[in-house]
Structure 1
Amino acid sequence: MKKISIVVPVYNVAEFLPACLDSLVQQTFRLQDYEVILVNDGSTDNSAQICQDYVKRYPALLQLLTKENGGLSDARNYGLARCQGQYVLFIDSDDYVERKMLERMYDLTNQGTKRLVECNFVWEYADHQRLDQRSGYSSLQDYLVNGRVVAWNKMYQREWLLQTKVEFPKGKLYEDQNFFFKLVLFLKDINEIAVDTQAEVHYRQRSDSISYAQASKISDIFWIYQDIIDYYQQHDGERYYSEIQYRFCRNLLGNVLLRKVRPLSDRQQKKMLVAQVWQKIDQWFPDWKKNHYLRQPGKVNWYLRLVRPRLTQILLAI
């Protein structure tokens, strides 16, 4: 059995793909101990040819799977079902990683006993970089509140992941949130998680990426959160009510409204999304203003304590 499988969904990323693949084949980890599963998700540019060229050069390391376009989640699920490693990572094909990433992360698995290992990373913008850094978490509650809700900075114990039956939701944005919050329910203790304090992944922020391009799918977050809430109710997740309430309200009123909705040019669309955000918060968390996490210091909590529907309309110029 390989120690690590890396699943790389590929869709129309010819410009960035070589840098990604170079970083994966040049790892300091023993070549015999890992595999890279490339999932060509119906690319229409030169991505498939680039993958084929690399497979010819590294036939013992790389495997190319080709399928009809189904989106990022579908490609990840497809690769997960076909990999063999003790641990599995999901790396986006327009990103790249440090040469010692696999070596450092696997060393933290405690001989394969950790459920997951996550690493720090760098947000790569066109004109600057930003380090996203954690040194660890004190509890699963702390992880729910402060954990990075992305799939591509984590290495998962594959058998455990398959046993949970948690998959990425097909055809939806914010798929990583669904995956992250559901998996936490299957962790018994924070010691099942290890944190690599090195910045291992370089995550490119591209204006033409899926998350930027599909403004009409911003409302997917409501489906995602409803699905997570239902899942928690079905899997004895009430013990994390305060953490989920705080994290969801913080994301809806912060990231979704200020970063996703505010840049939209369609005023009516913005107005509709703002109304939906407040309607969902009232429906799911009518007592959210009493959440004890709001009493913690910081600009975000100060904003959340003050924010009201009228204020969001002013901030979004509607």
Structure 2
Amino acid sequence: MSYEISVVIPVYNVEKYIGQCLDCVVNQSLGIDNIEVIIVNDATPDNSMDIVNQYCKKYPSIKVITNERNKGLGLSRNVGLSHATTDFVTFLDSDDFISLNAYEDSINKLKDSGCDLLIYNWEVFTENGHIEPSSIHNQNADENKVLEDITDFPEIFLLTSAWNKIYHKSLFKYLKYSKGLYEDNIVTSSVLANAKKIYLSKDSTYFYRKNSSSITENIAVENLLDLSASIKSLFELENIYPNYFSQIKLLIIKFINDVLFFLFYYNWPVTDELLIVDKLKDAVGKITKEDLIYFNELFPSFPTFYMDECLDLQTLSSDLFLAKYKYYNRLSKVKSRATVYVDEGNGFTEDSKVSAEYVPQKNNRLDFDLSRFSNIVSLRFDPVEGAFIKSKINNLNVLDANCDNSINDDYQIFTTLDPNYMIEKDSNSTLTIDFDLEFMTNDDIAVLFAEKNNIINELNNKSKQKRFKFL
């Protein structure tokens, strides 16, 4: 039997959604008899395949390919593509769905226009049905348009997703996905650079489910390392597609900003932060100020654009980069962590602490549950991690602090990245700490170091006898 289009659907841990996904395929206006559905069972451990098998019994055009071991989304797409028998292929993630006219409308447009790639609109929705606003990656078409020169629409290189596109077989050789978390980027850039004509369609929609359990919604160090590796691979395209590299750089700049955003706005161990910056610095090739201005002109509303940081990545060492951009300039909207360490007679350890995540304000009031500690000898309070701060505890007796000034001053100045107070022990099971906090600015820090430098210079200019009051 011949089909109009092949739809590749990798399946892994989606028993909650696979029925809705397959329903949108079998009910396509093109007719399920005209659609080759290739299910790739990626060694799913749940009951997804029980549901898939029910559809297979009813619809002969659905076939199943089974991976002996879990390969991940990208490699599973490669497996499915190798079994496609039609002139057109598309990918559908197994927790998403599409409008019921998508395949019929798209195939007609591709044939009528002679295009070898079609991109249709998409929406992001959450599990409670909330539709999220469009982002830099889903610039939906307001009208149908055929592109013969993609430099007329440079923003297209940010449409990186594999699944809102239909590919002609002339492009199949570029559909070689990798194992990493960001498997779409290199492939899509290559496809866009090699497509002869591209159809931007407003008449059908892909519905992308923002699943809170998805790996892309739970950012870990590995995500940032993988995204940095993707950036490095994108830079390598300069020699392959020099005519389009200024447009590919738009995607690179966007991803550099993504890595920096997660680096700055989340709490990571310093060793991980250095690893992330090292990996990013290794990945980033030449980015000029003109490149960044070009990006900013195309995407003026892009949030949190790190122009200076992108330029300094190429010149500063990793530790200086972190010091300058994360710790000296930390913003009050950064989510941070305060910690109370409890000494039960064995000193302060990581096993004897209670932490609270909060968004630092000028005044903060946090509660710590100490009910599990039976013998409290002393207490230490760390108001924030990894920041130069000014702080003051308003409701408790402070015994000591690793501040640069006196604990009796109006507020304490901390130029260590591990600020902490020793506070008087409390017999209550809940310890409430009311404290003021401000992050030190560059100017604050510069004044402090200037004062210290002046003192050192003054001492160096005196004789040893006068310095130490020798007779």
1:183 is the counterpart of 2:191: yes
C-alpha distance in 2, partners of 1:206/1:40?
20
Amino acid at match of 1:193: I
Given the two structures, how large is their TM-score scaled by the length of structure 1?
Answer: 0.85
1:243 alignment partner in structure 2: 247
- Residue 23 of structure 1: SS of its match in structure 2? helix
Greater displacement, 62-71 / 193-202: 193-202
How many angstroms does 1:143 deviate by? Answer: 4.6
2:230 to 207, 224, 230: 224
| C-alpha contact (below 8 Å) 1:122/1:199 kept by paired residues | no
2:150 alignment partner in structure 1: 140
Amino acid at match of 1:250: K
| C-alpha contact (below 8 Å) 1:39/1:64 kept by paired residues | yes
C-alpha distance in 2, partners of 1:206/1:44?
18
C-alpha distance in 2, partners of 1:155/1:210?
25
Aligned residues: 304
Work out the percentage of aligned pairs sharing the same amino acid.
Answer: 24
C-alpha distance in 2, partners of 1:134/1:271?
40
1:153 is the counterpart of 2:164: yes
2:177 alignment partner in structure 1: 168
C-alpha distance in 1, partners of 2:245/2:22?
41
| C-alpha contact (below 8 Å) 1:24/1:99 kept by paired residues | yes
Q: Cα deviation per residue 1:240-266 (whole Å; 9 max; x = unaligned)?
A: 23222232022211x3332x4456443
- Of Structure 1 and Structure 2, which has the larger fraction of its residues in strand? 2
How many angstroms does 1:153 deviate by? Answer: 0.2
1:280 alignment partner in structure 2: 283
RMSD over aligned Cα atoms: 2.6
C-alpha distance in 2, partners of 1:251/1:13?
28
| Structure 1, unaligned runs of 5 or more | none
Greater displacement, 116-125 / 178-187: 178-187
Amino acid at match of 1:38: I
Higher RCO (Cα < 8 Å, 6 or more apart): 1
| C-alpha contact (below 8 Å) 2:177/2:187 kept by paired residues | yes
- Residue 108 of structure 1: SS of its match in structure 2? helix
How many angstroms does 1:185 deviate by? Answer: 2.6
1:208 is the counterpart of 2:219: no
C-alpha distance in 2, partners of 1:89/1:76?
10
- Residue 77 of structure 1: SS of its match in structure 2? helix
Amino acid at match of 1:272: L
C-alpha distance in 1, partners of 2:232/2:56?
41
For residues 1-318 of structure 1, the aligned pairs below 5 Å read: 1-59=2-60, 61-67=61-67, 68-111=69-112, 113-127=114-128, 128-130=130-132, 131=134, 132=138, 133-135=140-142, 136=145, 139-146=149-156, 147-157=158-168, 159-162=169-172, 164-169=173-178, 171-188=179-196, 192-213=197-218, 215-218=220-223, 219-233=225-239, 235=240, 237-253=241-257, 255-258=258-261, 260-261=262-263, 264-268=266-270, 269-281=272-284, 284-285=285-286, 287-291=287-291, 293-294=294-295, 296=297, 298-300=300-302, 303-307=305-309, 309=321, 310-311=324-325, 314=330
How many angstroms does 1:137 deviate by? Answer: 7.5
Amino acid at match of 2:256: L
C-alpha distance in 2, partners of 1:125/1:263?
23
- Of Structure 1 and Structure 2, which has the larger fraction of its residues in helix? 1
